[in-house]
Amino acid sequence: MRVDYAELAKRIAALTEGESDEVALMATLACEIHHADDRFDWTGFYRVTEPELLKIGPYQGGHGCLVIPFARGVCGAAARTGETQLVADVEAFPGHIACSSSTRSELVIPVFARRGVIGVLDIDSDQPDAFTQEDADALETILRDVFGAL
């Protein structure tokens, strides 16, 4: 099953309308995104809880890493640079953190609110080169629509 981003965006907009709690929004998005596509093996958020530090937030899938410094891994790179990380082969990414041995590719998108980066959306796949620029663009738009006004 491949995600229909237009339908996913509509469903998320309906489910999150009027909600301003970041954790509630993250939980809803993690669930909806995770179940929208068979490529998505682990889907979740890491939240900025201290300067230069991410801690696990709502997610779907197996266990994730509990703490990720901005200086390490794909999630850290997205938080540190404020740029989406589209990684076709995690083994080739310098400093990759292996939270799960089954992860082969990863898409990590910074989550922005008015006060700046509040976390990252991390999607792992057990398939190599699973993600496209279309995935990144569509999910960036959904995140901006949901969190941009907070």
- What residue ranges do the domains of the chain occupy? 5-147
CA 107 to chain centre: 7
> What is the distance between the alpha carbons of residues 98 and 104, in angstroms, rounded to a whole number?
10
pLDDT digits (tens, 9 = 90+) for 62-86: 988 999 999 999 999 999 999 999 9
CA 147 to chain centre: 13
Mean pLDDT for all residues in the chain: 95
What strands lie across the sheet with 67-69, from one edge to the other? 67-69, 53-60, 42-50, 116-125, 105-113, 85-87
Look-up of token digits 């509509």:
10
Q: Which CATH superfamily is domain 5-147 in?
A: GAF domain (3.30.450.40)
pLDDT digits (tens, 9 = 90+) for 36-72: 999 999 999 999 999 999 999 999 999 889 999 999 9
